[in-house]
Chain A
Amino acid sequence: MKQRALWSAVMVAGLAVAGCGSAARTESPSGDSQQKQQKLVVWDWKSSEPTAAAYIEKAKADFAKRHPGVTVEFVAQPFDQYYTLLGTAIQSNKGPDVMLFNGGGQIRDRVDALLPLDQYVAGDKSRLAGWDAFSKDGKIYAAPVTLQGHPIYYNKALYEKAGLDPANPPKTWDEFAGDCAAIKKATGASCFALGNKEGFGIQFFMSGLGSGILTPEEYDDWIGGKRDWTSPNVKRIFELWKDANDKGLNNKGANSTAMFTDIFRVFETGKAAHIIGLMSDIGHWKDFGEFLPPDKIGVMQAPVVADGATPSLPYDGGIGYAVAKWTKDPGLAADLVRSLTSTDALTAFYSKAGAIASDTTIDVSQAGPAVAAIVSEIKTGKPALHVALSSKTLDLMGRLSQQLLSGSTTVDKAVEQLAASDRTG
């Protein structure tokens, strides 16, 4: 009897604490903060790549000059699992001192675990571009390393074969559609290379073509958080997405073609004339260069779809290094972040990996017309539309975009759901 009563008591106590505790730990880590730290641990998914080796070396050297005696360890995680691993580290409040983030939703969702860097990086603010993607509520949480954006690349060879002038890409959507029809007729290549297996295609589409659809005021409001999902121009983005597919502008099987592997191959091998690609990491001018000579790759501005739109290059901070809240010496860790964004290091990253680095003082005149076109537009460029959305809304948008392509939902219904998701954050 006594035993049973005891067990009941234990059960009751167990249930009583349900709802206390937390999924991610809140208390600060134990440990002696006075103890002098000799080692900084950095997590990223870049440092193991051969193209990033020179960059990491330069950054390490710069840091060692200012802080001899402090060792820095780079731990390269697989990107597939990066945010899962990071999530686990954040929950246990233990882990790297400095870590790499993608700009936008990925870092904004996790700022609770990060240290605001404003006081440390003030000196770099004008030299580097792309801070917005690493800021939340007016505070900076990471320093940008690369700029990530969505230029529209086109295959000049296909333009020539179709008898079009590759130096004069189309300016409006009607011209664009006309040129595509001509290319299709002459070469059989589709207009867009679109991979939407993961639901990323719509993000590229929205940002790549958005500046040709929204008016500058609408665009700025969208980025500023005042997103009017009922506006006809916002709806136009999704109508165009569906329309382009229905009219056969995309390669076939877009919903089962993977974005980061298969679809770039489609563009590189000349099976599609245009692709909304990236500026850094992968899927950019240097990547395409493996198959297409640099002088055959062009970058065009978004064709104007709606009156009153002013095309601009959509870009944000791509990847950037942040400092964990639990690091023992925030100043030291922040100094490492500054070394990782020094001009020397970033120049090495640009020349070896082909990334468009965040440092605006780097000379890119040697790299060919596509890079020149991208860099010349950075001054007038604006943040990409999709980066302003939460990862939850982006996730939903990916699924809805697949439904739009397969015809199992309508534009009105999709926009309505997105508006609801965007409102709740």
Chain B
Amino acid sequence: MVRPAGSGRAGGATTKQRGPREGAAVRPASRGARAERLAPYVLVAPAVLIIVVLRLWPLVLGVNFSFTGDGELNGTPVGLSNYLELAGDPLFHTSLRNVGLLVLLLPVAVAIPGLLATFIYLRVPGHRVYRSVYFFPAVLSPVIVGAIFNLMLGFDGPLNAALGAIGLGPVDWLGDPGISMFTVVGVHVWATFGMALVVFLAGFSTLDASLLDAARVDGASLRQVIWHVIIPSLTRTIQFVFVTTMIGMLTSMFGLLFVMTSGGPEGSTYLPEYYIWHQQGQMNRPALASAASTVLFVVMLVVGLLQITLLRRAGRQD
């Protein structure tokens, strides 16, 4: 587990050598040496204990539960049957597919705040107002955002009325399985891009203004300035926003889903988190929910490792 590299083995070796002598006479020096040897373990112990007791042990329990049954089979080992049930459950497939969809939509979710931050940085008219306006939704809770958009996007809501006024047919934003996931992601991006925007603005503040001036003097167009000067200088910021946006999308969509679609229509907006909550809380299947949690854990582990690799590579470039 967590210990200084090589210290365990070295400690073991010295113990063996010193062993017989200690029985004869314990000298103060050796007691001091032992205390020194034990000190790192003692100092690390609280942190390790907290991780083991509050993180790893529940994790092991959860994985353990996923191999047992529900209801009448409560507590009986059932092998992989929960996982087989998940593999055969179209609803779980949908939820995993939606995770894939979120990953695919990630560039859009990063591009929007990036582009808007660029405009603010380039001081478009009214940029001060926009800076606060864009950040405003980030302080609203997902439940409030969901409730607002439920009203806005209702079948007989204002958005459809506006569309009707210009002659476009009503769109069932939250009732059409082909549209609703995009609707929810869109609302999530609207509600959260303010944070990414701030990060981008922070990145801009480190940007070397003389580069921009030089580009302008050379007659570069806006597109060329963005593509050849701003994006290369902001690589690290962009990568950081990618990682945080990804985490946000995968872990904090529950509130919106709960309020806006309840996983529907036709189960098209399920995400693994929502599936787990549904099985545990509504269907009374805690063991199946544990199995789904384990699968989600593995997915997040893979995603997390990829992100760490990405960040490390970015660090090496500097």
- Cα of A17 to Cα of B173 in the assembled complex, Å: 48
Q: Is the C-beta of B290 less than 8 angstroms from some C-beta in chain A?
A: yes
Query: Contact at A26–B75, with CB atoms within 8 Å?
Result: yes
Cα–Cα, bound, A91→B170 (Å): 47
Contact of A20 among B63, B64, B174, B180 (CB under 8 A): B64
Q: Which residues of B contact A2 (CB under 8 A)?
A: 12
- Provide the A326-337 mask, 1 if CB < 8 A to any CB of B, else 0: 000000000000
| B283 lies within 8 A of A395 (CB) | yes
Contacts A84-B277, A406-B266 given; does A22 touch B175 at CB 8 Å: no
Q: Whole-angstrom distance between the alpha carbons of A392 and B290 in the complex?
A: 17
**A23 touching B70 by the CB < 8 A rule?**
yes
Across the interface, which residues of A come within 8 angstroms of B9, CB to CB? 1, 3
Determine the distance from Cα of A22 to Cα of B91 in the docked complex, in whole angstroms: 25
Choose among A91, A199, A399, A403 the residue that contacts B286 (Cβ–Cβ < 8 A): A91
Q: Assess the A256–B174 pair: CB atoms within 8 A.
A: yes
Comparing A247-255, A296-304, A314-322, A377-385, the segment that makes contact with chain B is A247-255
Of B71, B172, B277, B290, the residue contacting A256 (CB under 8 A) is: B172
Residue with the highest number of chain B CB atoms closer than 10 Å, among A2, A24, A81? A24
Q: Which chain B residues numbered 211 to 239 have a C-beta less than 8 Å away from chain A? A: none
Q: Assess whether B283 is in contact with A23, with CB atoms less than 8 Å apart.
A: no
Alpha-carbon separation in the docked complex, A408 to B257 (Å): 22
Assuming the contacts A83-B284, A395-B282, asked whether A21 and B174 have C-beta atoms less than 8 A apart, the reply is: no
Instruction: Select which of A19, A83, A199, A252 is within 8 A of B264 by beta carbon.
Output: A199
B63-93 interface with A by 8 A CB criterion:
63-65, 67-68, 70-72, 74-79, 91
User: Is B266 a contact of A399 with CB atoms below 8 Å?
Assistant: yes
CA distance A1 to B78 in the complex (A): 36
- Report yes or no: B71 in contact with A109, Cβ–Cβ below 8 A: yes
Which chain B residue shows the least CB distance to A111? B71
Interface residues of A in 75-111 (CB under 8 A from B): 81, 83-84, 87, 91, 109-110
Encoded as 1 (CB less than 8 Å from any A CB) or 0, chain B from 278 to 294 comes to 10111110110110000
Among A1, A22, A255, A395, point to the contact of B265 (Cβ < 8 A): A255
Q: How far is the CB of B204 from chain A (nearest CB, A)?
A: 40
> Does residue A57 face the partner (Cβ distance < 8 Å to B)?
no
Query: Do A83 and B154 touch across chains, with their CB atoms under 8 A apart?
Result: no
Which of B173, B174, B284 is within 8 Å of A197, CB to CB? B174
Proximity string of chain A (1-38) to chain B, C-beta cutoff 8 Å, 1 when within and 0 when not:
11100010000001001111111101000000000000
**A81 — which chain B residues lie within 8 A by C-beta?**
281
B118: Cβ under 8 A from any A Cβ: no
Q: Give A91's nearest chain B residue, CB to CB.
A: B286
The contact of B283 among A19, A26, A392, by CB within 8 Å, is A392
Using a Cβ–Cβ cut-off of 8 Å, how many residues does chain B contribute to the interface with A? Answer: 51
Determine the chain B residues whose CB is within 8 A of the CB of A199 once the complex forms: 264
A112 at the interface (CB under 8 A from B): yes
Q: Which residues of B contact A21 (CB under 8 A)?
A: 61, 64-65, 68, 75
Are A255 and B175 in touch, CB under 8 angstroms? yes
Q: Would you call B262 an interface residue if the criterion is a C-beta within 8 Å of the partner chain's C-beta atoms?
A: yes
A24–B69 Cα distance when bound, in Å, is: 9
Q: Per-residue 0/1 for A395-425: is the Cβ within 8 Å of any B Cβ (1 yes, 0 no)?
A: 1001100110010100000000000000000
Q: Across the interface, do A406 and B265 meet the contact criterion of CB distance under 8 Å?
A: yes
A248 to B262, CA, bound (A): 25
Assembled-state Cα–Cα distance A167/B193 (Å) = 58
Taking A19-B64, A19-B68, A21-B61 as contacts, is the C-beta distance between A402 and B282 under 8 angstroms? Answer: no
Does A391 sit at the interface, judged by CB under 8 A?
yes
Q: Which residues of A contact B264 (CB under 8 A)?
A: 197-199, 255, 398-399, 402
Given A83-B284, A112-B71: A252 in contact with B77 (beta carbons within 8 A): no
Closest to A17 in B: B64
Contact of A83 among B153, B262, B267, B281 (CB under 8 A): B281
Any B CB within 8 A of the CB of A174: no
**Would you call B22 an interface residue if the criterion is a C-beta within 8 Å of the partner chain's C-beta atoms?**
no
**Does A341 count as interface, using CB distance less than 8 angstroms?**
no
A253 adjacent to B284 (CB under 8 Å): no
- Chain A to chain B: the 6 pairs with minimum beta-carbon distance, closest first: A253-B155, A22-B75, A256-B175, A84-B281, A19-B77, A255-B175
Additional 20 contacts, C-beta under 8 A, given A199-B264, A257-B175, A406-B175: A1-B9, A3-B12, A14-B60, A18-B64, A20-B77, A22-B74, A23-B75, A23-B287, A24-B286, A197-B261, A198-B262, A253-B170, A253-B172, A255-B172, A255-B175, A255-B265, A257-B155, A391-B283, A399-B267, A408-B177
10 A-B residue contacts at CB 8 Å?
A: A22-B65, A22-B68, A87-B280, A87-B281, A112-B71, A198-B264, A255-B265, A256-B155, A391-B282, A403-B266
Interface residues, chain A, with chain B CB atoms under 8 Å away = 1-3, 7, 14, 17-24, 26, 81, 83-84, 87, 91, 109-110, 112, 197-199, 252-258, 262, 391-392, 395, 398-399, 402-403, 406, 408
The interface of chain B, by Cβ under 8 A from chain A, is: 1, 8-9, 12, 60-61, 63-65, 67-68, 70-72, 74-79, 91, 150, 153-156, 170, 172-177, 180, 261-262, 264-267, 277-278, 280-284, 286-287, 289-290
